């Protein structure tokens, strides 16, 4: 590199890089704003992708099979049937729903609100419903296999398994994930372009200063490093602003959904907690905000060093 980077030189480069941000504060503020905006948009798509993956897992894990038994089945037969189903090793949980519980749950359904008279007369003595097992699968792909086993058991009269509906939901989730990934890639390219061109504006404004330093014998890296420090400061500040902005915005969204969920009897799917993705976002922001800013700085200053 020509001039050894002694401690004094390192201090000078860091001091000069930080001082440059103050001397060109209007340009730096504009750069920080543009980079932070790009990172916020990028973060939104990261959160969308994370939530789609999370919801997809929720849908797969919530695939339940309901197996209805004879209306007058005895308790010992129920216990024996439970043991046989457990021995298959295909379920993570088996919940028993009695006829009485099934009727109680039916009366609570949204569809019967305002139409309670339709269920009048049905009680423990006159209950047309059947007891059932509600089975949660270990793996979504085990559904067909379990249904086949259940249908071969004489105590089971009917099996409800909404495979087509759930497969459709999972397919939509998969398509949405792919689309989000494509948008994410396009947005990352756009972010790189915006950041690189923002750094170019800063370098262009000080091209004469660079030329003078070059003529008096300063090495290329001695000239580059203050600009790299400056770009790192811009990237770091933009990353912090973007992370703060998106965390507050995301918390507001979660708060709004929680209030809606509390006022509605229909459950709204939960979202990924921000703490679960904050580390991932911070790493992405630092890589893009600082890394790409440095690359943009090196590339942008190159042509002004050819004197």
pLDDT: which is higher, 9 or 298 = 298
* pLDDT surpassing 50 at residue 268: no
**Euclidean distance between CA atoms 17 and 233, whole angstroms:** 8
Percent of the residues in the chain that have a pLDDT greater than 90, as a whole number: 6
Averaged pLDDT of the chain: 76
* pLDDT surpassing 80 at residue 250: yes
Mind listing the pLDDT tens digit for each residue in 158-197? 898 877 766 776 677 677 778 777 877 777 677 667 766 7
The token pair at 298 is 């090196």
pTM across the whole model: 0.60
pLDDT at position 83 is 92
Mind listing the pLDDT tens digit for each residue in 57-78? 666 666 678 899 988 888 899 9
- Mean of the pLDDT values across residues 242-268? 71
CA distances to 134, 170, 200, 281, 286 from 50, rounded to whole Å, are 29, 15, 33, 11, 19
CA distances to 180, 213, 292 from 304, rounded to whole Å, are 39, 11, 19
pLDDT at position 265 is 43
Closest listed residue to residue 48, CA positions, set 249, 195, 189, 190: 249
3-state secondary structure of 159: strand
The H or E element that residue 42 is part of is helix 25-61
* pLDDT surpassing 60 at residue 253: yes
pLDDT at position 82 is 92
**Euclidean distance between CA atoms 205 and 30, whole angstroms:** 14
Q: Write the DSSP assignment of 58-76 as a string of letters.
A: HHHHT-EEEEEE-TT--HH
């Amino acid at each position: 590199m020509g001039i050894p980077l002694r401690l004094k030189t390192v201090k000078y480069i860091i001091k000069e890089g930080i001082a440059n941000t103050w001397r060109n504060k209007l340009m730096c503020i504009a750069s920080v704003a543009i980079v932070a905006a790009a990172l916020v948009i990028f973060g939104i798509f990261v959160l969308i992708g994370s939530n789609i993956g999370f919801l997809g897992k929720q849908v797969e894990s919530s695939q339940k099979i309901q197996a209805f038994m004879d209306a007058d089945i005895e308790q010992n037969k129920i216990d024996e049937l439970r043991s046989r189903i457990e021995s298959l090793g295909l379920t993570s949980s088996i919940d028993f729903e009695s006829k009485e519980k099934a009727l109680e749950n039916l009366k609570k359904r949204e569809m019967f609100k305002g139409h309670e008279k339709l269920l009048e007369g049905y009680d423990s003595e006159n209950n047309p419903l059947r007891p059932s097992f509600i089975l949660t699968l270990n793996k979504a792909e085990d559904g067909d296999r379990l249904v086949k086993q259940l249908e071969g058991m004489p105590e089971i009269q009917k099996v409800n398994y909404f495979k087509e509906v759930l497969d459709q939901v999972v397919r939509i989730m998969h398509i949405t994930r792919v689309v989000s990934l494509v948008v994410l890639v396009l947005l990352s390219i756009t972010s790189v372009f915006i950041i690189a061109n923002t750094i170019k504006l800063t370098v262009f404004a000080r091209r004469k200063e660079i030329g003078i330093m070059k003529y008096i014998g300063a090495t290329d890296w001695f000239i580059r490093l203050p600009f790299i420090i400056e770009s790192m400061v811009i990237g770091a500040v933009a990353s912090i602003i973007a992370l703060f902005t998106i965390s507050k915005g995301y918390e507001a969204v979660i708060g709004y959904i929680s209030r809606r969920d509390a006022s509605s009897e229909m459950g709204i799917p939960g979202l990924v907690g921000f703490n679960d993705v904050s580390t991932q976002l911070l790493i992405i922001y630092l890589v893009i905000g600082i890394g790409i800013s440095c690359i943009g700085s090196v590339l942008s200053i190159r042509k002004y060093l050819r004197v």
